Copies of this chain bind each other. A is one copy, B any other.
Amino acid sequence: MSRLDGQTPTQAERSRSRREQILDAAFHTFTRRGYRDTAMDEIAAAADTSKGGVYFHFPTKEAIFRELIRTTADRLALKVERAVAEQTEPIARADAALRAVLMTFAGHRTMARLFFIDAMGAGRVFNAETNELHDRFAGMIATYLDEAVAEGAIPPIDTALVGVAWFGALNEVVARWLLVDDAAPLEAAYPTLRALLLRGVGVSEARIAAQTDRAVS
């Protein structure tokens, strides 16, 4: 970034952009072919560099994948947190979280692919990784549900389990959408899914019918 001034980039800048270039290429290749089926040579080629070049910036293939997962998850989590922060009422918060995830994936099919297609399989290595990821998001949901319970907005439930179930439902819906080529837009699933999930935890019909505000996309 920043060639607004002079001409040739500094070494540090070149290195940084190269790194990102590789990350980008890896992202796309992993996304299309999966972890195991992606060869380092492919990543190198996609990044317009050589295998040696890639290994200058990253120690192992796994490290690339880890970094990709981590930063992607961080980005998503940030988005969710921001969406949630805009709401004060607990049900609206849970709703906002659901909406944020769905809309983010809808807008970034490839990001979704990295999460879901690659999530399982391909060795124990990042079953742990994936595990943690799922935990993280299921935990987020559970936290919002806990708030809702605490404020009496919904009756008490096993929020940990429900968080997992919600995440699973969301996960599967997105995964199906990914696997079908000419699928309906993911947004179309939102109303039904919203109603299904909210109803499931005991939100009243009236409350479900009343949509939360739609200020942000």
Contact = CB atoms under 8 A, between A and B. Distances in A.
Interface of A: 33-37, 116-124, 127, 131, 134, 138, 157-158, 161-162, 164-173, 175-176, 179, 189, 192-193, 195-197, 199-202
11 contacts: A34-B123, A37-B123, A118-B121, A127-B179, A138-B176, A157-B196, A168-B173, A172-B172, A199-B200, A199-B202, A200-B200
A196 B123 CA distance: 33
A161 B33 CA distance: 27
Contacts of A173: 161, 164-165, 168
Given A123-B34, A193-B165, A172 B134 contact: yes
Contacts of A164: 169, 172-173, 176
B116 A120 contact: yes
- Number of copies of chain A assembled together: 2
A199 B162 CA distance: 13
Given A117-B120, A200-B199, A165 B158 contact: no
Q: Is the interface of A mostly helix, strand, loop or mixed?
A: helix
Nearest to A162: B196
A116 B124 CA distance: 14
A134 B164 CA distance: 18
A200 B202 contact: no
B165 A172 contact: yes
A172 B161 contact: no
A177 to B, nearest CB: 9
A165 B169 contact: yes
A7 to B, nearest CB: 45
Nearest to A121: B121
B120 A119 contact: yes
Contacts of A167: 172
Nearest to A158: B192
A206 to B, nearest CB: 14
Contacts of A201: 196, 199
Contacts of A171: 168, 171-172
